[in-house]
Amino acid sequence: MVLEELGLIVNQSCLNNIRIQNAAGTASWYFEYVAEHKMAIYTASGYFTPEEIKHIYKFLSYHVYQHKMSVVRSVTDSREIEGSFHQMNEWFVKDFMPKVVAGGFRCNANIVSKDFYAQLAQEDLDEMIGGLFVQRQFEDYQKGYDWVTSQDVS
């Protein structure tokens, strides 16, 4: 598995909950699937390299596909993410997300990072997304969650 080769540890408590962390325990990525809203919640903290982030997204999207989870919306909680990830933005928008959108994905609420470099990377990503899917930025988690669950995704 690629994640293990990168030194990342995968812990799965049940089908709908996965935690990925680095070997040092200083960074973690948590995935939760909320079937009621056809929604994925991603919570990231610490620093991951752009290459690690790419493989985490690939791993989680395969998990969603493999278990026939319908994900039309998401909340990405980036409040505790550190460092820049702008090096993966082009891959994310041009390679990864078009496939996810083709599978039915429609909108994301991003809870913004406190880290300056992560904020810059997110601004760059927002510009690149254009109309591929709807994304809004929030400082408050509950406001983002409420917004994304209220979106008409039909």
- DSSP string for 87-137: GGHHHIIIIIHHHHHHTT--EEEEE--SSHHHHHHHHHHHHHHTTSSEEEE
In a domain, 139, yes or no: yes
Where residue 84 sits, what CATH number does that domain have? Answer: 3.30.750.24
Other beta carbons less than 10 A from residue 149's beta carbon: 17
In a domain, 34, yes or no: yes
In a domain, 121, yes or no: yes
- 53's tokens: 């982030």
Domain that holds residue 51: 2-149
In a domain, 18, yes or no: yes
pTM for the model: 0.92
List the one residue out of 46, 89, 73 whose CA is nearest residue 135: 73
In a domain, 144, yes or no: yes
21, 24, 99, 105 from 4: Cα distances, Å: 10, 13, 25, 28
Each residue's pLDDT expressed in tens, for the chain with a length of 154 residues = 689 999 999 999 889 999 999 988 999 999 999 999 999 999 999 999 888 999 999 999 999 999 999 999 999 999 998 888 878 888 999 999 999 999 999 999 999 988 888 888 888 888 888 889 999 999 999 999 999 999 998 7
**Domain tally, the chain:** 1
In a domain, 118, yes or no: yes
Q: Residues 14, 27, 111, 39: what is their CA dihedral angle, to the nearest 10 degrees?
A: -20
In a domain, 94, yes or no: yes
DSSP code of 85? -
In a domain, 154, yes or no: no
